[in-house]
Amino acid sequence: MKRLLSATAVACGLLLGACASTPSTPPELLDARAAVRQAESDPAVLAHAALELKKATDTLNRANDLLAKREAPSAVISTAHVAHAQARTAMALAAAKRDEDAIKTAEADRERARADVRTAEAQRARAQASSAQAQANVANAQAAAAQNRALSAEQLAAQAQADAAAAQQRTLILQQRLTDLQAKETERGLLVTLGDVLFEFNRADLRPTAQGQLQKLADFLKQYPDRRVLIEGHTDSVGSAAYNEQLSRRRAEAVASVLTGMGIGPNRVTFTGYGKSYPVADNRTDTNRALNRRVEVYISNNDQPVRMRG
């Protein structure tokens, strides 16, 4: 018990030493400190209510810590109320025990002792009521904090819902633009195919009708500035391999030149020609050969270059 009193004295000393840097002490905390000191100075409390006194001391230490940490005044006051009530309970229990001892030693004072016991019980009830009120205050504070957290959670949920709606809207816009471009998804990225009809016959010059399609492509790339482009030229099997490779490359280069002229950075555009190496149909009919004469534009799914063939 002496160690308990010593620890309490040291704690109080440290708190008093730090008072210059802590906020003003609420009256409720001063009252709690006085009640605990009063209980510690009562020999009957030390003898008969040591556990209750320790509870009061621990609670008072928590109240002092809350004050030192500049927690909410309501939390300091609520904890101080609990410490005060526990100190009063310790003194009430000690008084009750003292009264019980008096009953055993003085039969003549039985009625008076009984009255004292009833008084002690009333004090205990009041102390318990004060403790219950303090606990109710703490519960109310916790409920208010929980309500604030719930409001924050609702706000986060609303923001997440708004973000999801925005993402869905962006997805719809992307799908609409892909539809306008007649783009297809492939393992190498989005594919936009420009047919042979967009070029002058057997030449790399783009016809005026190609401008609209390429403008849609340029607008799409401006909306997604991180994506890169690989332009591939292809021909049918008519003519020599060298000629077809040169023609396919010139057509791919012509498309790249138009895109850069429309504001797409040259660092985003790569072109090459494959000639007749990668047909999409056999070259037995005019229709199939027309399908093979094409320029394919691959759009990357991210900021990395489109993977080359082979």
User: pLDDT per residue over 217-260, tens digit each?
Assistant: 999 999 999 999 999 999 999 999 999 999 999 999 999 999 99
The better pLDDT of the pair 287, 12 is held by: 287
Helix axes 73-105, 50-68, angle to 10 degrees: 170
Could you tell me if 157 and 145 are in contact, meaning their C-beta atoms sit under 8 angstroms apart? no
* Cα of 309 vs its chain's centroid, Å: 42
Buried b (16+ CB within 10 A) or exposed e, 40-65: bebebbbebbeebbbbbbebbbbbbe
With 80 as the cut, is the pLDDT of residue 181 above it? no
CATH superfamily of this structure's domain 182-299? OmpA-like domain (3.30.1330.60)
* Residue 8's pLDDT band (cuts 50, 70, 90): low
* Residue 173's pLDDT band (cuts 50, 70, 90): low
Residues 270-280: what's their mean pLDDT? 96
The better pLDDT of the pair 6, 303 is held by: 303
Helix axes 27-40, 73-105, angle to 10 degrees: 30
Percent of the chain with pLDDT over 90: 57
Q: Cα separation of 69 and 66, whole Å?
A: 5
* Residue 80's pLDDT band (cuts 50, 70, 90): very high
Question: Which run of H or of E encompasses 185?
Answer: strand 184-186
With 70 as the cut, is the pLDDT of residue 47 above it? yes
- Kindly tell me the number of DSSP H helices and DSSP E strands found in the chain: 9, 5
Question: Which run of H or of E encompasses 177?
Answer: helix 110-181
Task: Please provide the average confidence, as pLDDT, over all residues in the chain.
Answer: 86
With 80 as the cut, is the pLDDT of residue 55 above it? yes
- The token duo for 295 is 């320029």
Domain boundaries, the chain: 2-156, 182-299
Interval 115-151: pLDDT, tens: 887 877 888 878 787 788 878 888 888 888 888 887 7
Q: What is the pLDDT of residue 175?
A: 58
* Residue 166's pLDDT band (cuts 50, 70, 90): low
Q: What is the pLDDT of residue 7?
A: 47
With 60 as the cut, is the pLDDT of residue 209 above it? yes
With 80 as the cut, is the pLDDT of residue 40 above it? yes
Looking at the whole model, is its pTM more than 0.75?
no
**Short-list 33, 34, 45, 40, CA closest to 3:** 40
- The token duo for 302 is 């991210």
Interval 83-111: pLDDT, tens: 999 999 999 999 998 888 888 888 777 78
